[in-house]
Structure 1
Amino acid sequence: MGAPRLRQPTPAVRGAGLEPGRLLAAVDAAVSYYRAQLAHADAPSAYLAERGLGVLVHREWPWRVGYAPPGWSSLTGHLRAAGFTPEELIGAGLSARTRTGPDRLIDVFRDRVMFPVRHPAGHAVAFLGRSGPHAGDVPKYLNNPRTAIYNKSHLLFGLAEQRDRIAARWTPVLVEGPADVLAVWLSYSRSGGTGAVALAPCGTTLSDTQASILRELPGAARGLVTAFDADAAGRAAVDRAWRLLRHARCPGPLLAAEFRAGADPADLLRGPSGRAQLRTALRRRARPMLDMVVDHRLTRLVERHPRLLEDIDGRCAAVRALVPLLFEATSPQEAITVARRIVAHTGVGVDTVATAAISHLEDLLHDFGPPGERRQPRR
């Protein structure tokens, strides 16, 4: 039998008009169901162990990681038998109707390691489902649809589970997904003292709201670190984090930990002395985030124009493209560091960077001239 076709969701928020307590109860029941399934599922348990997260199979709190079995309606049948209505299961983002049979419900999550997403108050409101290594052509992570109790742009994974570390002013670390959050959490489980507390967007890129949440964390005054892969997606995530966190006016320095291409915190954890290596990467191999943004911008320029830096005209063009980042520095010292980085990358003199900076500043002043004054294009 072929896969059932899901009906397209309606524009309205799922669960609107239903009793929020019932939606929360359905999600909580799903957490318990998925948790029980993990104990009897060899493949997902082996996957977690291979990722260095095997302790989570037997240690229930605070994460309660689980497993959604591959059946089309395993969870749906279980929760229907427990007294939840179809509307409540759809409203909680756990079940969906099919196109071929509008009265038939199937599970939203199937054959995935399940990470509950919690409201800061502690109750589970949604899930992030991670596919296995041999799942085929499916999304790596599957997120709950938006519901009356869950908006993925307004929450950070790991916030509720690590309230003790957050209150102790541990340094916030922004990572890609739940496996990375758990890797950092485990790396500090026996370290003593203070350390890093990792948080992740809920299956989406960082939002303005999430940046504001990070800014308000007690440890943000000590600095905020990003820890992403060194691939194209990771570079884009760092650049976006820089823009949003700078706009949010985070109180401490913005830093970025360096990882090799294709590696992330969870990858480090499973290596020899993985926990110590991960702590070292977050503590000693973090550099100013703006430095990394400069590197990324130049990398994109060279990818588009491979011979850009081969002559003086190309190098000067690169300087003009990089100089606006000088004006994003959060301190004079950081601006000096960026200028030196531009000099080192392009091979031009400091005077060339200074001239380009003055020209850029003149352009800015020209664009924002006196109110009401007609500004002519600069020649």
Structure 2
Amino acid sequence: MRIPEETVERIRQSVDILEVINDFVSLKKRGSNYIACCPFHNEKTPSFNVNPVRQIYKCFGCGKAGDAVRFVMDIENIGYGEALRYLAKKYGVEIEEQEQTPEDLLRQNERESLLIVLNFAKTFFQETLLTTDEGKSIGLSYFRERGFTNPTIEAFELGYTLDQWDALLQEGLRRGYNRDLLEKAGLILIKEAEAGGKQKVFDRFRGRVMFPIHNVSGRVIAFGARILKLDKNQPKYLNSPETSVYHKSQVLYGIFQAKQAIRQEDVCYLTEGYTDVISLHQAGIKNVVASSGTSLTTEQIRLIARFTPNVTILYDGDAAGIKAALRGLDMVLEEGLNLRLLLLPNGEDPDSYVHKVGADAFKEYIRKNSQDFIDFKASQWLNEAGDNPLKRAEGISDVCASITRIPDLLKRQTLSQRVAQVFHVSEQSVISEINRLLRKQQDQHKKDSERQQRSTDLGQRQSAPVTITPTPDEPSLEDINALLEGLNMSADGFEPSVSSTTPPAVQDTSTKLVRTPISYQEEECVRLLMNYGARELEPGITLCQYVLSELHEIEFQTQPYNLILTIFREAYSRGDILTASDFLNSKSGTSEHANDIDIQNQAIHLTTPRYEISGGWLKHEIFVPSEEEVSILADAAYRNILRIKKMMAEQRMTTLQQLLRESANKSPEEADQLLTEFMHFKRIDIEISSLLGTVISG
């Protein structure tokens, strides 16, 4: 079904980008904007910037940018329509969808289809739990035995699947879901027929209580299932296979239910099992997640880091729990998070212990018994070492190895003091050991890099094709002449002469931008147009009018800047002066120009300042001139156009120099003509340099 354009606009007007992004990452206010560590790439210093006024985001690290719809598309890896449906549901906007054509249906994203069929399965398992005799007598009884209340069962959308071969399959087919989609979602299995036999198709989950696994936005992406009857031929727990929507190393069980509490408490409790999360959540400890039956991964740690820098690992007190805690410790430190660890009394897990002592006592136990990683590791080593000095030394080295994982130098220095206190050794010896281990890591990294480079070089020599990056087209002589005829600027004022031009054909801007010296000046020109095009530099003369008149018949060499300049010219010829909003609000598939997403991304890049003036400067009466002041803005536009024309003149001079070097086969008249033209451009170059106040070369 297609969403009508008026509904799309209503959704966009209802959205608050801060609320949308805050569902996935914790934002902190800085000046008029908000910042965070980017959810799209790994970073320790925040470079992800959100502008609530323009309702856009921009990462200065990886370049990701867009509006709320684009953010949902990127973070959830879903299509445009599904992102709009997500936002409509969040803001209560009713969607009256229009019938799709066969072509629309073919374009429907498979990922969206999988999410829809997984949601169907979740609802089917819930209904089976609450409405069937088998579900109530087996599944619901089990949850009651675990102490789960109705609100808890509803919050985690728990369910049950019948002990039948194809209950889900038959219901899915009856509701119109095709078999291939059910298989891709990991809900059914297809066993190919043996010779002379018949193909077997059956449900993956049968006779099990179901734990839906949600992503950060609350969509069901997979299931964990526990069998209740004794069957040595069946695993106790069975999880969904990996699909295009489910990658277990990137998922934390309970993150959707826990994310707000994690923000509020500013700490995340990490456990191992589904029931640990559910029991603690029901007891009021809601800032808890589980690693979904997998060893802790870097991706899972980074998911936690979106919401808090503080992690407390809660593991069983047996040998396996200690081993699991130690296994995940270094990875957490490596990602720059603050880590504490807690081992529960032997024989207890978070689920059993919170039922035994209650929520308040459990919280108090965490407060009194959680340890930082130094105390935790030291206690393990000291108990094992006893009076053995070699074991103590081995323990010190092991703790120091964990410290080297921490990216923050100041933290490493502070923690070295703590190690010295715990092991009763000098701080200098600890620092020396840390430095030794760091040098060892660097040497190993260097060896690995060299080995990889040798392998890469060998592969390139054997099979890599030779590629040549094309240079921008050389401006024609007519363009240069037009350029120089336009050199009618003076430092005293403006002499605009506006005339309409025939815009060049729109070209593709989706290719990687090739940066040349002139491209930076073209970018600056477009930035000024986009941010200040409607500002008057003199009475009756806008910046847009001035710039377009001075760039009469000049085309930029860099796409997409030439495309944006063309769009400004087209609008101005109609009597309109475009603003940043006209580019920021570009909608997928609705722009009259190709690649409107590329244009939108460029607009975000050109209108989002990376830095803001510190409030401390104003406090101490240090005032920085703003480019929004008319005199500064006029000078910036004037000098920018001078630089563009100077660079175009220099390009022509370079071409003429090359032709003069090759003039041996040319007639004297041709050589003289080339030299005369070169000297003409040289004088122009000197004149512009003089106006700019730059050093003039001989």
> Could you list the runs of 5+ residues in structure 1 that have no partner in the other structure?
1-16, 189-194, 303-307, 344-348, 373-379
In structure 2, relative to structure 1, the CA distance for the partners of 1:23 and 1:283 (3 Å cut) is: same
The 10-residue stretch of structure 1 (166-175 or 78-87) with the greater mean CA deviation from structure 2: 166-175
Contact map agreement 2:184 2:243 (CA 8 A) in 1: yes
Q: Within 5 Å, which residues of 2 pair with 1:127-142?
A: 127-132=223-228, 134-136=230-232, 138-142=234-238
In structure 2, relative to structure 1, the CA distance for the partners of 1:84 and 1:317 (3 Å cut) is: closer
Instruction: Say whether 1:203 aligns with 2:293.
Output: yes
State the match for 2:401 in structure 1: 324
Please report the RMSD computed on the Cα atoms of aligned residues, expressed in angstroms: 3.2
Instruction: Say whether 1:122 aligns with 2:218.
Output: yes
In structure 2, relative to structure 1, the CA distance for the partners of 1:70 and 1:282 (3 Å cut) is: farther
In structure 2, relative to structure 1, the CA distance for the partners of 1:68 and 1:248 (3 Å cut) is: same
Contact map agreement 2:250 2:299 (CA 8 A) in 1: yes
State the match for 1:13 in structure 2: none
1:335-355: per-residue Cα shift (whole Å, max 9, x none)? 3333444x3xxxxx535x965
Greater relative CO, 1 or 2 (CA 8 Å, sep 6+): 1
State the match for 1:350 in structure 2: 425
Instruction: Say whether 1:231 aligns with 2:231.
Output: no
Instruction: Say whether 1:292 aligns with 2:292.
Output: no
CA apart distance, 1:127: 0.7
1:192-249: per-residue Cα shift (whole Å, max 9, x none)? xxx65011223322221111111110xx24x211111123332233223322221111
Local SS of the residue matching 2:155: coil
AA partner of residue 97 (structure 1): I
- Give the whole-Å Cα distance in 1 for the aligned partners of 2:436 and 2:118: 57
Instruction: Say whether 1:85 aligns with 2:178.
Output: yes
Among 351, 358, 371, which residue is 1:266 paired with?
351
More helix by share: 2
Among 317, 325, 328, which residue is 1:241 paired with?
328
Among 265, 268, 272, which residue is 1:172 paired with?
268
AA partner of residue 257 (structure 1): L
State the match for 2:419 in structure 1: 338
Among 357, 367, 388, which residue is 1:283 paired with?
367
1:274-311: per-residue Cα shift (whole Å, max 9, x none)? 22233223333221134324445677xx5xxxxx6465
The normalised TM-score by structure 2 is 0.42
> Could you list the runs of 5+ residues in structure 2 that have no partner in the other structure?
1-107, 447-698
1:309-360: per-residue Cα shift (whole Å, max 9, x none)? 465455555555555345457454433333444x3xxxxx535x96576356
Contact map agreement 1:257 1:285 (CA 8 A) in 2: yes
Contact map agreement 1:142 1:203 (CA 8 A) in 2: no
State the match for 2:600 in structure 1: none
- Between the aligned residues of both structures, percent identity stands at 23
State the match for 1:96 in structure 2: 189
Instruction: Say whether 1:48 aligns with 2:132.
Output: no
Contact map agreement 1:268 1:277 (CA 8 A) in 2: no
- Give the whole-Å Cα distance in 2 for the aligned partners of 1:49 and 1:320: 49
Local SS of the residue matching 2:331: helix
Instruction: Say whether 1:215 aligns with 2:302.
Output: no
Local SS of the residue matching 1:160: helix
In structure 2, relative to structure 1, the CA distance for the partners of 1:137 and 1:332 (3 Å cut) is: farther
AA partner of residue 216 (structure 2): P
AA partner of residue 126 (structure 2): R
Among 89, 97, 113, which residue is 1:22 paired with?
113
1:50-90: per-residue Cα shift (whole Å, max 9, x none)? 3332x14x655321101122222222222122221110110
AA partner of residue 282 (structure 1): I
Task: Look at both structures and tell me which one has the larger radius of gyration over its CA atoms.
Answer: 2
In structure 2, relative to structure 1, the CA distance for the partners of 1:339 and 1:22 (3 Å cut) is: same
Contact map agreement 2:259 2:287 (CA 8 A) in 1: no
Contact map agreement 1:86 1:105 (CA 8 A) in 2: no
1:6-47: per-residue Cα shift (whole Å, max 9, x none)? xxxxxxxxxxx9733332222111111211222333233333
AA partner of residue 267 (structure 1): S
Contact map agreement 2:164 2:206 (CA 8 A) in 1: yes
The normalised TM-score by structure 1 is 0.74
Local SS of the residue matching 1:109: coil
Contact map agreement 2:377 2:399 (CA 8 A) in 1: no
Local SS of the residue matching 1:233: helix
AA partner of residue 229 (structure 1): D
Aligned residues: 327
The 10-residue stretch of structure 1 (203-212 or 84-93) with the greater mean CA deviation from structure 2: 203-212
AA partner of residue 51 (structure 1): R
Contact map agreement 1:294 1:325 (CA 8 A) in 2: no
Contact map agreement 1:143 1:202 (CA 8 A) in 2: no
Q: Within 5 Å, which residues of 2 pair with 1:37-76?
A: 37-39=128-130, 40-53=135-148, 55-56=149-150, 60-76=153-169
AA partner of residue 107 (structure 1): D
CA apart distance, 1:109: 1.4
- Give the whole-Å Cα distance in 2 for the aligned partners of 1:137 and 1:280: 42
